[in-house]
């Protein structure tokens, strides 16, 4: 909290709480200190000057009610969650030791979307984990279609020395892994493009990061839902502006400055 307070005093408007299984924070402090991640979100939200709070990467197993309630109650906590899936097959999830099933994950995604209006969901997905069959992969595609992620990081499994998976039977051929990744990316990008197209005509609050990397006459920033926006108009880096969304791709929005949001 001291660090966040110092950042806010220096003019920082957005923070990201970063950790491995970040929403498990506080559980290892008991019994000396009884706290949990929802309390940390509320404490950060109470600091003057902090306009946006994000966190990554959470684990589905620790998205408990106090965390969800804090996201609902705290104005600064953004409507964006990165919720790693890894696989849509319960059998593969068990082999990965992920401690949740396909069905439990889908229930959680539905609960989060019900609780937090306009929530954007991102994810991580691995294809070609040892023993993954075509049927397992099809289950992953089905979850992507059902959840309709706004973004996804997609990976090909590669053996890492010293891990149990590296010596598992049923290593998937490289050609199959690459073919599955291409099919997955196609589905992910199609859905992301559809989700972004739904934003056209809306006004989104954008935190300006600076000039566009491809056109210095344009600005670049992000919405509360973490979507990159290319902006026409004038604004200072670090400023919050309302942007009228006029176009989209699978990864970005495009729009014009409507009004500046008071600091």
Q: Which domains does the chain have, with CATH numbers?
A: 1-77 (3.30.750.210), 79-198 (3.30.750.200), 203-260 (2.40.50.140)
Q: Backbone phi, then psi, for 241, in 5-degree steps? A: -130, 150
Beta strands 120-127 and 219-223 are unpaired
pLDDT at 117 over 90: no
pLDDT at 22 over 70: yes
Output the CA torsion sign for 33, 35, 36, 38. Answer: negative
Q: What is the pLDDT of residue 62?
A: 87
pLDDT per residue as tens digits for the range 145-182: 999 999 999 999 999 999 999 999 999 999 999 999 99
pTM of the model: 0.93
Q: What is the pLDDT of residue 260?
A: 57
Beta strands in the chain, from DSSP E residues, in sequence order: 14-18, 52-56, 80-82, 120-127, 151-156, 203-211, 219-223, 228-232, 240-248, 252-260
Q: How many CA atoms, within 13 angstroms, populate the side-chain half-sphere of residue 198?
A: 10
Instruction: Give the three-class secondary structure for 120.
Output: strand
In percent, how much of the chain has pLDDT > 90? 93
Q: How many CA atoms, within 13 angstroms, populate the side-chain half-sphere of residue 50?
A: 25
For the segment 224-230, the average pLDDT, to the nearest whole number, is 97
pLDDT per residue as tens digits for the range 79-95: 999 999 999 999 999 99
Give the C-alpha separation, 116 to 36, whole Å: 20
For the segment 243-247, the average pLDDT, to the nearest whole number, is 97
> What integer best gives the mean pLDDT of the chain?
95
Number of alpha helices (DSSP H) and beta strands (DSSP E) in the chain: 7, 10
């Amino acid at each position: 909290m001291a660090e966040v307070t110092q950042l806010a005093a220096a003019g920082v408007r957005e923070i990201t709480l970063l950790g491995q299984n970040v929403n498990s924070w506080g559980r290892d402090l008991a019994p000396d200190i009884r706290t949990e991640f929802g309390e940390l979100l509320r404490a950060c939200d109470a600091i003057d000057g902090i306009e946006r709070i994000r966190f990554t990467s959470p684990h589905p197993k620790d998205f408990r009610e106090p965390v969800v309630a804090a996201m609902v109650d705290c104005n600064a906590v953004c409507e964006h969650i990165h919720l790693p899936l890894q696989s849509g097959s319960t059998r593969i999830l068990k082999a990965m030791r992920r401690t949740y099933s396909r069905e439990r994950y889908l229930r959680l995604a539905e609960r989060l979307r019900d609780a937090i209006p306009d929530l954007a969901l991102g994810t991580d997905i691995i294809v070609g984990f040892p023993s993954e069959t075509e049927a397992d992969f099809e289950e992953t595609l089905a979850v992507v279609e059902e959840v309709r992620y706004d973004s996804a990081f997609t990976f090909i499994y590669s053996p890492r020395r010293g891990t149990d998976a590296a010596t598992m039977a049923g290593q998937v051929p490289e050609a199959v892994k690459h073919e599955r990744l291409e099919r997955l990316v196609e589905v992910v990008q199609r859905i992301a493009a559809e989700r972004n197209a739904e934003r056209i005509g809306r006004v989104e609050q954008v935190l300006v990061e600076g000039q566009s990397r491809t056109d210095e006459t344009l600005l670049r920033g992000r919405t509360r839902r973490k979507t990159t926006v290319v902006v026409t108009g004038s604004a200072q880096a670090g400023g919050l502006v309302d942007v009228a969304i006029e176009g989209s791709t699978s990864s970005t929005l495009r729009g014009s400055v409507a009004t500046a949001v008071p600091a």
